[in-house]
């Protein structure tokens, strides 16, 4: 599903590469944690998979397509196959939970009728049934992140990328979000999550890839934070 | 649905930043007005050249001591010249009669000139008035020829004035256009900034580039169109107040400016306004909304 081959990424003006000759393969339906200290390069992986940055060397394959060689006008269609969740939720403050999720559908050309059918369903799935018409500021952090997950999942993407999704949440709420991601993973969606939350990694017992100074130092099938 | 979304985004965008929008529209209107005015002057000068150049002639004045042979040789040469359309001989008497009628209201001038004092001449109409210089060179040294005078010189002065007015209008139009461009660029940046969250989400979920950019580009296009209509309004007011009003006397000298010609400027100005503003908006977005 995801293949990184000898990927090196050095940001302009950086003294050393964020990712240095990284090779890793992720199968369809896997749940993978990328862990490591701040600045280790783990967030760069998410950016590479989204084609927000391109590697200096090496190749990135997602769903059988070479992302590195992708023409820029093909990127939007490519991103529709990928859902994405961030630490800061990235919700639109002047739209309700329902409207936030519907917005993601409407801007890729889905009709309002489709949104009316699909959005309540996905909000129910993430456990926000009955709170569709609340604005982000009327929701707790955990609930806002659920809206973000609903928005990422509403297109039934093949891959869900999560960049420190529990970074702004308390431990109990974090565990609820993880349960949600686990459920999404069980529908067959590949989940790639970047985190430095050791509790969560230890509880989930999923594949753990540890990165330090841009290199993979550990790749364990049922790992702990270590 | 998508069209409705885009249009409502355009209206919200223009209204959110209304002072900037107004500034953009005004500069656009003035710039396009100047452009339209210079376009009108251009067509006007072209018309006038066509109108007057047909009527003007080259006068070849003859020396008083010219012999009959020289005169008929000259006339023959002129009549067989392919550059010459027609030749009219004006004798001393005819010149005097013409002079008398021209200055009939200034008897002192008429009295000062006696019959026979005015030179005889050939009045020559040219096939192509631009060939004056060649005609002059062909005849200036001929026996019996005194002076060759082209009435065009006088008209040329008028056209030069109109030409510099046109150049001035074009320069002003360009300067205003630069100001309008900068304002469009700035307005689009402000609009893109105020919608940065929406744009970020749209990029994230894979909205197509045209869908992200269309509202911004259309905002600029709408402003450009309004500017063009206002600029055209200025042009129409200019025609009514100046050409049909206070400059009426001058208008008689100039060839008349029909409403049809003024109307043609509207689509031209609208085209210039929309193309310039949409290209500017699009280029701004290329830098500002990198995918």
For the cut 60, the answer to whether the pLDDT of residue B291 exceeds it is no
pLDDT at B253 over 70: no
* DSSP assignment string, B214-279: HHHHHHHHHHHHHHHHHHHHHHHHHIIIIIIIITHHHHHHSPP--HHHHHHHHHHHHHHHHHHHHH
Q: What are the backbone dihedrals phi and psi of residue B73, each rounded to the nearest 5 degrees, phi first?
A: -65, -45
Lookup: tokens for B152 = 């065009």
- B88 and B232 share one domain: no
Task: Inspect the interface and report whether the beta carbons of B200 and A77 lie closer than 8 Å.
Answer: no
Domain range A1-79+196-226, its CATH number among 3.30.530.20, 3.40.50.300, 3.30.1330.30, 3.40.50.720: 3.40.50.300
Look at residues B150, B170, B191 and tell me which one is the last residue of a structural domain: B150
Chain B: closest CA distance from residue A208 (Å): 26
CA-CA distance, A129 to A75, in Å (whole number)?
A: 33
Q: pLDDT for A187-213, tens place per residue?
A: 999 999 999 889 899 999 999 999 998
A160 within 8 A of A85, measured Cβ to Cβ: yes
Q: What pLDDT does residue B250 have?
A: 67
| Among B151-155, B166-170, B283-287, the least confident range | B151-155
Q: What is the ipTM of this complex?
A: 0.89
Could you tell me the CA-to-CA distances from B225 to B6, B210, B260, B283 in Å, in that order? Answer: 17, 21, 20, 19
Q: Which of A107, A112, A155 sits opposite B211 (nearest CB)?
A: A107
**B4 touches A at CB < 8 Å:** no
How many independent structural domains does chain B possess?
2
Contact B208 A108 (CB under 8 A): yes
**pLDDT tens, residue by residue, B180-219:** 889 888 888 888 888 889 999 999 999 988 888 888 999 8
Which pLDDT belongs to residue B191?
85
Beta carbons of B290 and A52 less than 8 angstroms apart: no
Contacts with B159 (C-beta within 8 Å, 6 or more apart), sequence order: B45, B48, B49
How would residue B252 be classed by pLDDT, with cut points 50, 70 and 90?
A: low
Q: Do residue B127 and residue B164 come from a single domain?
A: no
Same domain, B228 and B179: yes
User: Which DSSP symbol is given to B84?
Assistant: E
Contacts of A107 in chain B (CB under 8 A): 201-202, 205, 207, 211-212
Interface test with A, best of B206, B215, B289 (most A CBs within 10 A): B206
Q: B132: Cβ–Cβ under 8 A, 6 or more apart, which residues?
A: B58, B126, B150, B152
Q: Where does residue A209 rank: exposed (0-12), middle (13-18), buried (19+ CB within 10 A)?
A: buried
Q: Which helix (H) or strand (E) holds A119?
A: helix A112-125
Output the six-digit token pair for A189.
């969606």
Regarding whether B47 and B61 lie in a shared domain, the answer is no
Question: Residues B164, B283: one domain?
Answer: yes
Selected residues 136-175 of chain A with any CB under 8 Å from a CB in chain B: 151, 155
Residue in A77, A92, A155 nearest the CB of B198: A92
Q: Final residue of a domain: which of B98, B122, B150?
A: B150
Binned at pLDDT 50, 70 and 90, residue B59 comes out as: confident
From B198, which residue of chain A is nearest by alpha-carbon distance? A92
Claim to verify: residue B14 and residue B122 sit in the same structural domain? no
Q: Is A141 exposed, middle or buried (0-12, 13-18, 19+ CB in 10 A)?
A: middle
Q: What are the backbone angles phi and psi of residue A203, rounded to the nearest 5°?
A: -75, -35
Cα separation, B117 vs B23, whole angstroms: 67
Kindly state whether A219 is in contact with chain B, defined as any CB-CB distance less than 8 angstroms: no
How would DSSP label each residue in B165-218? HHHHHHHHHHHHHHHHHHHHHHHHHHHHHHTHHHHHHHHHHT--HHHHHHHHHH
10-residue mean pLDDT series, chain A (226 residues): 93 90 94 90 91 92 90 90 94 95 92 94 93 95 96 94 94 94 95 92 93 92 84
Judge if B26 and B119 occupy the same domain: no
pLDDT, residue B290, reads 66
Same domain, residue pair B116 and B210 = no
Do A29 and A139 contact (CB within 8 A), yes or no? no
Cβ A106 vs Cβ B5: under 8 Å:
yes
- Residues B262, B284, single domain; the answer is yes
Mean pLDDT confidence for B116-126: 83
Query: For residue A18, how far is the Cα from the chain centroid?
Result: 19
State whether B161 and B187 are in the same domain: yes
Interface test with B, best of A93, A107, A155, A159 (most B CBs within 10 A): A107
- CB within 8 Å: A72 and B204: no
Closest residue in chain A to residue B200, using alpha carbons only: A90
Q: How far is B50 from chain A (nearest CA, A)?
A: 53
pLDDT digits (tens, 9 = 90+) for A74-109: 999 999 999 999 999 999 999 999 999 999 999 898
Residue B143 domain boundaries:
57-150
Domain finish residue from B106, B122, B150:
B150
Neighbouring C-alpha atoms within 13 Å toward the C-beta of B115: 4
Residues of B in contact with A90 (CB under 8 A): 197, 200-201, 204
pLDDT at residue A81, as a whole number? 92
- Among B41, B49, B45, smallest CA distance to B130 is for B49
Same domain, B141 and B263: no
Q: Are residues B22 and B69 in the same domain?
A: no
The share of chain B scoring above pLDDT 90, in percent, equals 19
CA distance A76 to chain B (A): 4
Tell me the C-alpha distance between A32 and B281, whole Å.
Answer: 42
């Amino acid at each position: 599903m995801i293949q990184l081959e000898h990927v090196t990424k050095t940001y302009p003006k950086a003294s050393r590469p964020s990712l240095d000759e990284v090779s890793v393969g992720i199968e369809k339906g896997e749940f993978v944690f990328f862990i490591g200290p701040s600045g280790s390069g783990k967030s760069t992986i998410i950016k590479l998979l989204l084609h927000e940055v391109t590697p200096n060397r090496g190749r990135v394959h997602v769903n059988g397509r070479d992302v590195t060689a992708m023409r820029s006008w093909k990127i939007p269609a490519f991103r529709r196959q990928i859902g994405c969740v961030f630490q800061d939720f990235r919700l639109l403050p002047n739209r309700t939970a329902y409207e936030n999720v519907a917005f993601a559908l409407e801007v890729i050309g889905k009709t309002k009728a489709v949104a009316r059918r699909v959005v309540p369903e996905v909000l129910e799935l993430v456990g926000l049934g009955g709170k569709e018409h609340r604005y982000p500021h009327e929701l707790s952090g955990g609930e806002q992140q659920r809206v973000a997950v609903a928005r990422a999942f509403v297109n039934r993407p093949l891959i869900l990328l999560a960049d420190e999704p529990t970074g702004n949440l308390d431990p109990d709420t974090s565990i609820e979000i993880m349960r949600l991601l686990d459920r999404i993973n069980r529908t067959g969606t590949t989940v790639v999550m970047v985190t430095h939350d050791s509790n969560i990694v230890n509880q989930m017992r999923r594949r753990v890839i540890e990165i330090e100074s841009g290199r993979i130092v550990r790749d364990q099938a049922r790992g702990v934070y270590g | 649905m998508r069209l409705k979304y885009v249009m409502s985004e355009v209206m919200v965008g223009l209204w959110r930043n209304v002072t900037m929008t107004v500034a953009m529209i005004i500069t656009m209107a003035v710039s396009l007005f100047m452009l339209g005015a210079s376009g009108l002057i251009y067509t006007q000068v072209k018309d006038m050249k066509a109108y007057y150049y047909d009527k003007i002639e080259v006068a070849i004045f003859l020396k008083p001591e010219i012999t009959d042979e020289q005169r008929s040789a000259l006339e023959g040469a002129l009549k067989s010249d392919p550059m010459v359309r027609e030749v009219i001989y004006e004798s001393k008497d005819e010149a005097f009669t013409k002079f008398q009628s021209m200055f009939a209201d200034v008897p002192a001038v008429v009295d000062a000139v006696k019959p026979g004092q005015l030179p005889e001449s050939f009045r020559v109409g040219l096939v192509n008035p631009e060939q004056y210089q060649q005609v002059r060179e062909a005849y200036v040294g001929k026996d019996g020829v005194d002076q060759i005078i082209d009435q065009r010189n006088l008209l040329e002065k008028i056209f030069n004035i109109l030409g510099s007015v046109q150049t001035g209008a074009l320069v002003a139009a360009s300067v205003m256009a630069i100001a309008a461009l900068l304002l469009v660029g700035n307005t689009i940046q402000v609009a893109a900034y105020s919608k940065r969250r929406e744009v970020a989400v749209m990029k994230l979920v894979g909205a197509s580039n045209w869908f992200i950019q269309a509202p911004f580009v259309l905002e600029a296009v709408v402003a450009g169109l309004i500017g063009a209509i206002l600029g055209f309004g200025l042009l129409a007011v200019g025609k009514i107040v100046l050409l049909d009003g206070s400059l009426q006397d001058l208008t008689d000298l100039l060839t008349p400016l029909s409403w049809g010609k003024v109307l043609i400027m509207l689509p031209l100005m609208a085209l210039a306004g929309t193309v310039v503003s949409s290209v500017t908006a699009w280029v701004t977005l290329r830098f500002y909304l990198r995918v």
